[in-house]
Structure 1
Amino acid sequence: MARITVLGLGTGDENKLTLGVWNKLRSGLPLYLRTDEHPMVDLLRRHDIAYESFDSIYVAETSFEAVYEHIAERLVALAKNTEDELLYAVPGHPMVAERTVQLLRERCPAAGVSLRVEGGESFLDEAFLRFGFDPIEGFRLLDATNMNARGLEPNVHTIVAQVYDELTASDVKLGLMDMLPDDYEVVVGHALGVEGQERIVKVPLYELDRVEGYGNLSLIWVPRSEREELRNRSFERLREIVEILRSPEGCPWDREQTHQSLRKHLIEETYEVLETIDDDDPDAMCEEMGDLLLQIMLHSQMEAEVGTFDVYDVVESISEKLIRRHPHVFGDTAVESVGEVLANWQDIKAEEKRSKGIDPAAQSLLAGVPRDLPGLMKAYKLQKKAAEVGFDWSDVRDVVAKIEEELGEVREVMTPEGTDEERIGELGDLIFAVVNLARFLKVDPEEALAATNRKFMERFAYIEEKLRLSGRNFAQTNLLEMENWWQEAKKNPRNPRG
């Protein structure tokens, strides 16, 4: 049976090479190196140990992943054409930050190739020793060539490996700056544990890509920190804070809240976010979105306390839903237009209902409109749903005629004989008809009314400002004067305060 044995060459100190690996290297078996740019290669040369490296593949391919795929493919092919055992040596430990070995573990069984892995000193061993920290304090390893700093937890040590050059170091710097201050002290280690080559440099984060000497044996250490302002940038810290607030030792107000008591706050915070969007105010938007997120965290924490779900279940649920409902992004479904996306979306939603035992065909077409939507928004959505199956006016002039009809019916119940119930009903019919007109004009009635509300507030504020400047109050003016100021405000809509 074809066989590949993977050997770890360690960090570069030949005195730390394991006896088993050394005996294999001297065995005379075919030996392949991922790269010969490693201090241990000098030992092979001094002992006339023949080898072949895959460095030429790095030049031929356009990405590291393509390089690793090519190497794994070549090794499997070589092994199947070799009667004896084939050796493959890699820097460090074969199971630490060595993508080619992971690819071999995936491919060898299917190719009928036996795979054995023999360890070696990892660069992590030297990192713990030279940098002087204990990984039990909390430790994370990141790959500089495929780095996502968003998952960085400042309260654990972080090692960034495979920092091959200044360009890679620059990418690492920019990623870390999303989570850490520009002057945060980090440590660069070159050739750790290799006598005569080791160099350790401490620099502020903004100078990370100015350090000289990056290469195959370079890595970056981001020391852990308990600084509160850094921890506060993590999602886990937010979850922890909310848990503390709800705990027996936490805040009495937060402890006594329920889903129902917080319901109004959830609605208010949503509208406050909408206000910042309308105002195009990024700073306020950031703050108000935080307030809205807090509501989600509190409701999730309440359920976590009784064991139904927690916020991570919420995150998992929405992640799975987004992936499931976007097969054209996360799958192999092809779409040509937004219309096709929406059609797929509806099909997927119907299938989701069926998986829950709900027959979409047995449901009302209007069932998907949330019960507690604001009136204008709900009317708009109900009409859109009905229009999808042809229950709609054919001409906008018919809608205007309907408004005029409903207005006439409102006038009829404005008489002393009209009841409150009739007035409510007829006024609702009129508003519903106006919403229909908005839909025909492709105007969101909520947005239209919100814009008018803002306009009214600005013009009324102009009147208040005029009164203040004249040293008077509303009791000392009259409707005619206020109407004149109102007209002035209309002439200067961009600055109604004058």
Structure 2
Amino acid sequence: MGKIIVAGLGPGGIDHLPTGTYRILKDKPKLYLRTAKHPITEDFIKEKIQFESFDYLYEQCETFEEVYQSIVEVLLEKAEREKEIVYGVPGHPMVAEKTVEMLLNNKNSSITVEILPAVSCLEAVYAALKIDPTHGLTVVDCLELIDRKIDPSLPLLCVQLYNRRIASDVKLRLIEDYPEEHVIKVVHNAGIAGKERIDKIPLYELDRLRDIDHLTSLYVPALDDDHSSKNLNTSFEGLVEILARLRGPDGCPWDKQQTHESLKRYLIEETYEVIEAIEENDVNKLKEELGDLLLQIVFHARVAEEQGKFNIFEVIEEIKEKLIRRHPHVFGNQVVKDASEVNINWEKIKRKEKRDGPFLDVPRSLPALLRAEKIQKKAAEVGFDWPDIKGVWDKIDEELGELKSAVSMGSFEQQVSELGDLLFSVVNLSRFLKIDPEEALSRTINKFIKRFNYVEKRLKEEGKKPEGTSLEKMDELWDESKKKI
């Protein structure tokens, strides 16, 4: 059994240190500090409080993550050996202290962690800036800013700027949401008497400051309404906000009239336009069409949000959870051999999630070829399938014979039924051949269009039109086109 007492050291000198914490530090033979680069260490020396810092790890390790992991490993080892140790961190242990978070999440049940609170760097910065965070404020560690969503309508406080390299990364991230000339405040040595200073500079100058260190924080005032509207196009949230405005009281009459039903056709159209851009291998067109498709998804989510059903962020959260749930070989401990095994597991998990629904639960609105293929795959999963491709060929011959018979002697309804049976059998053949029937038919259609366009072009060169040309002549040009296309 071992114990780690994590003591907050406050933002400045020993005057910020709680009395109880001071007594514990005086009683202990040694104190372990995340860093000795803190104003209080001068007081520790005067008070003869022995300490050992982990600053050497900042020199040895390549990343902050490696530094923090190494510190935690050393602390756990020392706690096991010494039974009880004290670990001092700047400010409050629960504010922007990754090592404390890692200690609390440690799975070693033999080590307990006790937290001794203190004034954090935040209180000192609030006092320096003379701001009340309850009026609205986003607080983030500079090292975690890159992956964070930012709401420019709220003030932003970034703590632990550390150095100019991090300042450069922070600047580049902020420029995605703020104008380069937006005036920011850089707070140095908050809470330290005689050293506290605030620089007001435009955002683009942030990484040009030379005295950035571990006691530097950054305050970014909120954008006014004018700037916010100009900045709407810089993020996904901006797109969501644009839709909200278009559907709002002062929005667009057409957008406000749309419903899930009225938008269906546009969703289908945009999907096919994306597919067309992919088939044409046109990257710029694909980028544009993906944007149009994304708009439809956000549009539908906005309509649902207005009805009190769900919003776009719930949509995103649900698909995130589904992807994690259906990829246990990535986010869990399951082992798979190849992509086919992934597909099998995916369908098993999907069936378990929808165990109350019918087995052949395939959307009726899918294109007929795609729906047929999906139904056949599902039936094959439970063994309802031909043992080999010979049975498929025989079935096609059988259905072709029945279609010929229906055409000769049957009713129109019989002909429709038998043609459907034949098409269904051909889709089954494509499945055995591992060919996408939709893709195969689409290629043939495109090929036919290109060849017919060739015939039309050749006729035009001769001053003719298709409607006034004999079938023999068009067949001749068609054969010619087959050699070229």
2:70 equivalent to 1:67? yes
- Specify the alignment match of 1:433 in structure 2: 425
Distance 1:113 1:397 in 2: 68
The 1:256/1:146 distance shift into structure 2, 3 A limit, reads: closer
Task: Give 1:448 deviation, angstroms.
Answer: 0.5
- Specify the alignment match of 1:217 in structure 2: 215
Distance 1:221 1:472 in 2: 74
The 1:462/1:139 distance shift into structure 2, 3 A limit, reads: farther
Distance 2:323 2:427 in 1: 31
- Specify the alignment match of 1:419 in structure 2: 411
8 Å contact from structure 1 (residues 149, 176) kept in 2: no
- Specify the alignment match of 1:496 in structure 2: none
Q: Secondary structure at the match of 1:89?
A: strand
Deviations 1:14-60 (A, max 9, x none): 4x942746992897333432211234433444555443323244456
- Specify the alignment match of 1:92 in structure 2: 91
Greater Cα shift, 479-488 or 313-322: 479-488
Q: Secondary structure at the match of 2:234?
A: coil
2:8 equivalent to 1:7? yes
Task: Give 1:334 deviation, angstroms.
Answer: 3.0
Task: Give 1:483 deviation, angstroms.
Answer: 4.5
- Specify the alignment match of 2:438 in structure 1: 446
Task: Give 1:452 deviation, angstroms.
Answer: 1.6
- Specify the alignment match of 1:36 in structure 2: 36
Q: Secondary structure at the match of 2:278?
A: helix
Task: Give 1:113 deviation, angstroms.
Answer: 5.7
- Specify the alignment match of 2:295 in structure 1: 294
Distance 1:429 1:26 in 2: 85
Greater Cα shift, 419-428 or 164-173: 164-173
Summarize the alignment of residues 50-199 of structure 1 with structure 2, pairs less than 5 Å apart: 50-58=50-58, 63-70=66-73, 72-73=75-76, 76-77=79-80, 80-81=83-84, 86=86, 88-103=87-102, 115-120=114-119, 122=121, 125-126=124-125, 129=128, 139-149=137-147, 151-165=149-163, 167-169=165-167, 171-172=169-170, 179-180=176-177, 189=186, 191-193=188-190
Task: Give 1:433 deviation, angstroms.
Answer: 2.5
Distance 1:103 1:246 in 2: 45
Greater Cα shift, 369-378 or 58-67: 58-67
Summarize the alignment of residues 379-390 of structure 1 with structure 2, pairs less than 5 Å apart: 379-390=372-383
- Specify the alignment match of 1:372 in structure 2: 365
Distance 2:280 2:148 in 1: 29
- Specify the alignment match of 2:448 in structure 1: 456
The 1:270/1:5 distance shift into structure 2, 3 A limit, reads: closer
Structure 1 unmatched ranges of 5 or more? 494-498
Seq. identity, %:
40
Residue 385 of structure 1 aligns with an amino acid whose one-letter code is K
Give the length in aligned residue pairs: 474
Task: Give 1:326 deviation, angstroms.
Answer: 1.7
Residue 374 of structure 1 aligns with an amino acid whose one-letter code is P
Distance 1:129 1:472 in 2: 85
Greater Cα shift, 56-65 or 305-314: 56-65
8 Å contact from structure 2 (residues 17, 118) kept in 1: no
- Specify the alignment match of 1:407 in structure 2: 400
Please give the TM-score of this superposition, normalised by the length of structure 1: 0.77
Q: Secondary structure at the match of 2:125?
A: helix
RMSD: 4.3
Greater Cα shift, 297-306 or 450-459: 297-306
Task: Give 1:156 deviation, angstroms.
Answer: 3.5
8 Å contact from structure 1 (residues 369, 381) kept in 2: yes
The 1:113/1:491 distance shift into structure 2, 3 A limit, reads: closer
2:319 equivalent to 1:318? yes
Task: Give 1:422 deviation, angstroms.
Answer: 2.3
Please give the TM-score of this superposition, normalised by the length of structure 2: 0.78
Distance 2:297 2:277 in 1: 19
Structure 2 unmatched ranges of 5 or more? none
Distance 1:414 1:202 in 2: 84
- Specify the alignment match of 1:235 in structure 2: 236
2:263 equivalent to 1:262? yes
Distance 1:107 1:409 in 2: 70
Residue 95 of structure 1 aligns with an amino acid whose one-letter code is M
Deviations 1:263-293 (A, max 9, x none): 3333333222222222233332233233333
Q: Secondary structure at the match of 2:451?
A: helix
8 Å contact from structure 2 (residues 76, 111) kept in 1: no
Greater Cα shift, 108-117 or 239-248: 108-117
Q: Secondary structure at the match of 2:310?
A: coil
- Specify the alignment match of 2:354 in structure 1: 353
Distance 1:191 1:45 in 2: 24
